[in-house]
Structure 1
Amino acid sequence: MSISFNGLGSGLAVSDIVDALVNAEQAPAEARLNTTESNLTTDISAAGALKSALEQVQTAMQALGDSDNYQKRSTSGSDSFISISADEDAQPGSYNVKVDALAQAHKLSSPAFAADEAIGAGLITIGSGENSFSTVLSATNTLEDLRDQINNGPFTGNDSNDSVVATIVTSDDGQHLVLTSKETGEDNAITITVQDDDGNNTDTGGLSRLAYDVSDADPLNHTTNLTEVNAAQNAQITIDGTLTVSSNTNEFSNVIDGVDITVKKLHDADDDVSDISVTENNNNIQAGLNSFITSYNELLELSNNLGASGESGAGVMAGDSLLRGVMSKLRSEITESVDLGDGNSLSLSQLGVETDRYGVLSLNTETLNEQIDSDVDLVQQFFVGTDEDEGGFAQSFDDLMSFYTDSDGIIQNRIDSKTNQLEDIDEQRESLTSKMESLSDRLYAQYNAMDLLVASLNSTSSYVQAQLENMPGVVSNNS
């Protein structure tokens, strides 16, 4: 490694000269890169803003293309006695509902047993609804053992308990096994049959003390060795004073076309019946159009700013074919009339979407409501189409927007291209830095060499001068 003392021989400011020469070479190149980078960044930002605004318009129109949002039903009448909901199958109308009974789970309680008392050996089978299961008791099993086997098994065969919960309630006279059906309603009443090791399956001795079966139509064949705490009971309502409906649960599904009723409380004799009303709700159309108009006008304002040209200055996309193209196609699309067959056609303008001389959209709700009241099915067909294979205006609009907004669409491709160019700028900067370092090293080497040469010449000059002064006959200037 050599060390150079710049300027020692020549007296020149070598470092300043080299820096000036390198900067003269570097500055124009850096300026070009900075300008290119700025232009690329501005273009990416503008294209991204345009894409985002287009996506907002696209999303707003997509909501109008969802058939599930049309002809919904609004209901009123939910109170402390009932709650109601309705789907599009419900027809507009009014009804009154009286709650006669609430659904109730079946609950049985056994006779009292001592805590350590053996309850009897044999097989006990418990059923509720469509579920039935059996478990085996030994001669030493207690009431607590039976409770645990009911809740957790083991069961015979492939049985499982999906229907009954067993608990023990301890009163002054001993332990009582309480069985409660998991589901409400008469269909889920509990039956208990036993095969008692003492040979009698219905008496009040041994395991048969837990038998309870009233499923036979003949009361003489009933076994009721357990006490019924709560009867299995269906919910019941009366509609319009004449139509009685029952349900295993407190929910009445589709008892009125498209209307579900949940009962919560009994109507007493002095209570007013619950009045319910179903009306058609097409608010999604106006809400959807307002959302579309808002997003479109925001896009229009952005487009005007990006594409501005005039004395006040030019927008960053002034004269850009992409901006001109998308806005031209969009304006054409929203003025398009859709043929709906049978001589019918509709356009956004017929639905009250109006345009002023600047292209700004607004909604005439009176025109829209008149069209909805006249034929809401036609309005739905305009936006949604007739089936999945033949989409309406919303699908056509979405297809147009997707050409620009998709992840592989024209705008993203442009953004990706510009981003790649930005990455090239970074590489060019690295290359320029390396080139300038090489230039600096070369200039320093040249100037250092020159400096050494000048130093050598100066040294030789001084030596010659000294020799000349010391030669005989040479007169010194010194006195």
Structure 2
Amino acid sequence: MNSLSGYNPAFSSFDSVLPNLSSLLSNGLLLGSSTSAASSTSSAPTDPIQVELSMLGQLMSVLNTFQNSLQQIYAPSIRFGGGTATSSNPAVASVSTSSGAQNASYLLNVSQLAQAQSAASSFSLSDSGTTVVGSGSLTIATGSYAYTSPTSATSFTSTGSVTVNISNGTLSSIASAINGAGAGVVANVVQNSSGNYQLQISQASTGASNNFRITVSDNDGNNTDQNGLSRLAFDQTQAVGSGQNLTQTQAAQNASYTVNGASGSSASNFGIQLGSSVSANLLATGSSNISVNVDFGQLNTNAQSLASAFNTAQGSINGLLGNQVSRRNDPIAAQLPQLLNQQAQNSYNNGSSLLTMLSQIGLTYQSPSQYGLGGTLSLNVTSLQAAYNGDSAGTANLLYTVAQSLNALANSYTSYGNGTLVNETNALQTQLRSRQLVTNTKPTPNTFPYNLQNLLSYPSQNSMLSAQQISALSMYALVYSIGAPYALNALLVGQGLGLSNSSGFSATA
């Protein structure tokens, strides 16, 4: 039988210990302090999944920047917008290109320029600013005649008209009034070979269908005779000298031309389309050979941009692979620089051109110092110029093809839905969320340790105990003390509950 010596009646009840125990339990001190927990967290090693996610994010950022640069190189506005066009006979035609122009040659033959209808007064005056022509109003209409001859028509179809009031008009004041009315015609006072002055009126637009008609309301009462303001009447459906009083000096006509043998006609001499995004302004009759070529300056800029974008991307990838991820652990990322290396050295389909590799146009690949890392590209402008001189279209097209191919490779890593880096990132994030969910899930609070030692060793995050639970634990400790007071004494002393070895406990078997 067990016997107890030195038994202190104060411990026959657990009341003297309960307040201290209850306080410690409610503060979580028996289950680990918040200070020690924080210290443990701060000293814990970095989460490898978080490291990997950070690296993948940086890698995708590098590839996105790389793609933006590549897309600028082969963008249609740049790819087809940098061509230059030359005319062998600039007196006949000037030429220009716009986005979409490609290398081509055109033979342009101009047989007739577009003209604007023009007519002049049949009378002339020795001065333009003092002699009065007449008073009344001019109604100027624009439209088209149905001609039966160059100066006679059966009808006129108007597209708009303006009435201009004239009071004691001289040639100069009449010209100013017409020009200020915005009637679709242009009036000028011209000096003829005899030194006298005439009024000339021309359609503002060229083209066979762009005609004009002038009807007069003359203050002298006769609107079609050769006196007063009616001398300025011009209606080609009327008889010459009786309503058609201005003399036509130039008939309206379209431009006529051929481009590589194909006939063309235009109401204007400007913006004549020779081919895709290539246009000419016709200046005179005659022939001219038009050549369109890739602009070397733009090509050189694109080649330098490709080398710079490639080198920047590879340098960034090398840094990420060497510093933050093991090739062993991330074969997907580790494969990328090697694939980029291959693309820079590949042979590409370039139509009928013999230029199929970057090295043929001055972009030379240099291997990395360490196997598995990304290499670099360097540009030799002299070699690029030589390739351009021999085949400008092939040189440009190879450069654009490689840029597109590199972009497609980068896109296979970064595109949403099927990009390998995107899928890897999503998988790691799912794994991280699952692990965090397990870690942060609290155990059911109504389960109790089978003894006080387990209670004292519980982690701090499980210390949320209700008053009822604390009371229950106190009762458990009370019962435990009756059966094993010596064990309880040692346990409480070891946990710093304010009890010492001189508290009166001693036990003998």
- Distance in 1 between the 2:327 and 2:339 partners? 18
TM value normalised by structure 2: 0.52
2:384 is aligned to: 368
Question: 1:404·1:411 contact (CA, 8 Å) conserved in 2?
Answer: yes
The one-character-per-residue Cα deviations of 1:20-76 (angstroms, maximum 9, x if unpaired) are: 516589777999897266335424423333432442464255349975256543799
Matched with 1:331 is 341
Match of 2:470 in 1: 447
| Deviation (angstroms), 1:306 | 0.7
**How many residues are paired up?**
364
Which one of 244, 248, 254 corresponds to residue 223 of structure 1? 244
Q: Which residue matches 2:183?
A: 180
Instruction: Pick which of 320-329 and 56-65 moved more.
Output: 56-65
1:432–1:35 distance in 2 versus 1, CA, 3 Å: farther
Kindly indicate whether the alpha-carbon contact (under 8 Å) linking 1:105 and 1:184 is maintained by their aligned counterparts in 2: no
Tell me the TM-score normalised to structure 1 length: 0.55
Checking the alignment, whether the CA contact within 8 Å between 1:42 and 1:316 is kept in structure 2 is: no
Could you report, residue by residue, the CA deviation over 1:279-300 in whole angstroms, capped at 9, with x for unpaired residues? 8423333221211111111111
CA distance in 1 between counterparts of 2:45 and 2:118 reads 81
Q: Tell me the equivalent position of 1:297.
A: 311
- Which residue matches 2:31? 21
* Aligned match of 2:425: 415
- Decide whether the 8 Å contact of 2:345 with 2:357 is kept in 1: yes
Shift of residue 407, structure 1, vs aligned partner = 2.4
Q: Which residue of 1 aligns with 2:415?
A: 406
- Return the alpha-carbon distance in structure 2 between the equivalents of residues 343 and 398 of structure 1: 22
Instruction: Work out the CA distance in 1 between the residues paired with 2:480 and 2:387.
Output: 103
Is the CA contact (8 Å cut-off) linking 1:335 and 1:348 kept in structure 2? yes
RMSD across aligned C-alpha pairs, in angstroms?
Answer: 5.9
Pick closer, same or farther for the CA change 1:262–1:60 going to 2, 3 Å.
same
In the superposition, relative to structure 1, how do residues 289 and 113 fare at CA in structure 2: closer, same or farther (>3 Å)?
same
Measured in 2, the distance between the counterparts of 1:9 and 1:323 equals: 60
Q: How much has 1:253 moved relative to structure 2?
A: 2.9
- Bigger shift: 49-58 or 286-295? 49-58
Contiguous gaps of at least 5 residues in structure 2: 1-14, 108-112, 122-132, 147-155, 186-203, 217-221, 256-264, 284-289, 369-374, 446-458, 482-509
Matched, 1:261 2:276: no
Cα pair 1:14 1:447 within 8 Å, conserved: no
Q: Matches of 1:180 and 1:65 in 2, distance apart?
A: 40
Matched, 1:38 2:50: yes
**CA 1:46/1:290 → structure 2, altered by over 3 Å: closer, same or farther?**
same
1:370-423 C-alpha deviation (Å, 9 max, x unpaired): 111122243245356xxxxxxx54554443333223223212222333444455
Q: Against the structure 1 CA distance between its residues 167 and 317, is the aligned structure 2 distance closer, same or farther, given a 3 Å change threshold?
A: farther
Q: Deviations over 1:219-250 (max 9, x none)?
A: 357534xx89x9998899xxxxxxxxx98657
CA contact (8 A) 1:355 1:361 kept: yes
Q: Is the 8 A contact 2:71 2:404 kept in 1?
A: no
1:128 maps to a residue whose letter is: G
Q: Structure 1 unaligned runs (5+)?
A: 1-5, 94-99, 132-158, 195-199, 237-245, 264-276, 309-313, 385-391, 459-479
The equivalences for 1:151-170 within 5 A come to 163-164=159-160, 166=162, 168-169=164-165
Partner secondary structure for residue 162 of structure 2: strand
